[in-house]
Amino acid sequence: MATNQRDKQKRLEQKRAKRKAAQKRQNQGSGLASPRNLSTIHKAPIHECWMSDAIFESGMGPVVISRKLANGEIAFGVFLLDTFCLGVKNCFLSIKPEFEYDDFCRKSENQYVIERLHQACARKLIEGAVDYANSLGFKPHKDFKRDKLILGDIDHSLCPTAYEYGKDGKPLYISGPNDSRSRQRSIMNQLQKLQGEDGYHFMVGEDQFTEEVDQKNVRLSSYSITTEPIDDEYSRRIPKELEEKIEELYEMVWDRSKNAIPILEELVDKHPGIVQFRNYLAMAYSGVRDHENSRRVIMQLHQDEPDYLFGKLNYAELCLSDGDIEKIPEIFGGHYDLQALYPDRDEFHISEVMSFFAIMCRYFIAKGEPDKAESYFKIMQDIDPDHRITKVVEKEMSPGLFSKFMQKVRSNKNR
């Protein structure tokens, strides 16, 4: 028994040794600089520095600074610069044998025309891009704090070149293939806030951003999304003493619809001009499956307040449930984007955005255009994947519920 135990222990030790050796080989093969050699590479002599020669023409390109270590290997930092707006978009630090570094350079020459430059100018170019982005409110890539160690004590003041950032005197944001819609919005909102309407340029791919869906395409729209109360004509109707009540009732409608109904009925009688109470009452009726009263409130609210967004959304939901999908473009004036629908607004509450997108998802599903519905749903996920409306739509987009929804639309339409 003791012999078996010793054999088992020996086999375990052998396995641990193999795993340790494999991990060591993996770390060595990655070429990434480890914390151990970060403390010394900045003291090694400069090997060479180069950049893409189109970095100011296209606004994007790498700057590389390399140093030759005592053992003959090359340590090099690669900084992908956005000279038009965002500064250091990406970066990494690596240590490789010289022949592997040369291979990296040859591959780079297949993508860029490489231009050698003095080490002082390389540093000045990189740090200038960082400073420009900082002035716009954008921080460099998260690894820059570590990877900039390769700059060492290079004196940028020795560079005689004056670099200009931005495009035609203004920042130009060009979205990258990995920029999510929420990141695109965040960047453009920051530029709008800092530079004003005419103080910046942007280029965003139509298939990457949002939102106006016409017959074939998705076109650009940009607005802020907030969780703070919106200051509009409807919110200004609410007396100060009822502002907190509005927030409490919203949560109650979602969680305890039955309890909310008598409170809301009384408030609607006292304050018929406060549209939020009527909207919540329709939601509460729907929550307890009192569809007759919910329909009554929705129809009356849309008739009395045709420009009220949630009145439009509730009425659109009613039309979809009835199978009257051809009424949806009429309700929204032929627009499929909030800012096109309300051109004087540049900010919307997150509940407005998510509710609108949910209706668009259901509308395009009902039209038999699931790709367009999916594009709206992806935007909802980008904005807030955990939002309660996102979760509801996620269930509706599942194949089983999608099929049931289509059957309901068809049966209601054929009544």
Same domain? 179 vs 154? no
Same domain? 237 vs 150? no
Q: What is the pLDDT of residues 181-201, one digit of tens each?
A: 677 878 888 998 898 878 888
Do strands 60-68 and 46-52 pair parallel, antiparallel, or not at all (unpaired)?
antiparallel
Going by the DSSP 8-state scheme, the letter that residue 325 receives in this structure is G
Mean pLDDT of 34-50: 79
> Is residue 359 assigned to a domain?
yes
Mean pLDDT of the chain: 82
pLDDT band of residue 140 (cuts 50, 70, 90) is very high
User: Residue 57: pLDDT above 70?
Assistant: yes
Mean pLDDT of 69-84: 94
Residue carrying the six token digits 């390389």: 122
Same domain? 400 vs 276? yes
pLDDT band of residue 345 (cuts 50, 70, 90) is confident
pLDDT band of residue 210 (cuts 50, 70, 90) is very low
**Considering Cα of 135, then 192, then 218, then 206, what sign does the dihedral take?**
negative
Mean pLDDT of 224-241: 83
Same domain? 238 vs 351? yes
DSSP class per residue in 94-119: EEE-HHHHHHHHHHHHTTS-EEE--H
> Is residue 291 assigned to a domain?
yes
Tokens of 324: 């009257």
Q: Would you give the distance in Å from CA 301 to the centre of its chain?
A: 34
pLDDT band of residue 28 (cuts 50, 70, 90) is very low
| Total domains present in the chain | 3
Same domain? 308 vs 235? yes
Number of H helices, E strands in the chain: 17, 11
Separation between Cα atoms, residue 204 and residue 110, nearest integer Å: 26
Given a contact cutoff of 8 angstroms between Cβ atoms, the answer to whether 50 and 116 are in contact is yes
| Residue span of the structural domain in which 43 resides | 39-158
Same domain? 117 vs 245? no
Tokens of 400: 């089983």
> Is residue 217 assigned to a domain?
no
Range scoring the smallest mean pLDDT among 18-27, 232-241, 325-334, 392-401 = 18-27
CATH of the domain at 263: 1.25.40.10
Same domain? 178 vs 154? no
Helix, strand or coil, per DSSP, at residue 373: helix
Same domain? 188 vs 266? no
> Is residue 256 assigned to a domain?
yes
Residue carrying the six token digits 């530079």: 195
Same domain? 245 vs 352? yes
> Is residue 8 assigned to a domain?
no
Mean pLDDT of 338-348: 83
Cα dihedral 366, 372, 374, 379 in deg (nearest 10): -120
Q: What is the pLDDT of residues 285-332, one digit of tens each?
A: 988 889 899 999 999 999 999 999 999 999 999 999 888 889 999 999
Same domain? 190 vs 295? no
Same domain? 338 vs 243? yes
Helix, strand or coil, per DSSP, at residue 397: coil
> Is residue 215 assigned to a domain?
no
Range scoring the smallest mean pLDDT among 20-29, 303-312, 387-396 = 20-29
- Per the confidence metrics, is the pTM higher than 0.85? no
Range scoring the smallest mean pLDDT among 117-131, 173-187, 201-215, 275-289 = 201-215
> Is residue 11 assigned to a domain?
no
> Is residue 186 assigned to a domain?
yes
Same domain? 269 vs 200? no
Cα dihedral 196, 199, 201, 206 in deg (nearest 10): 10
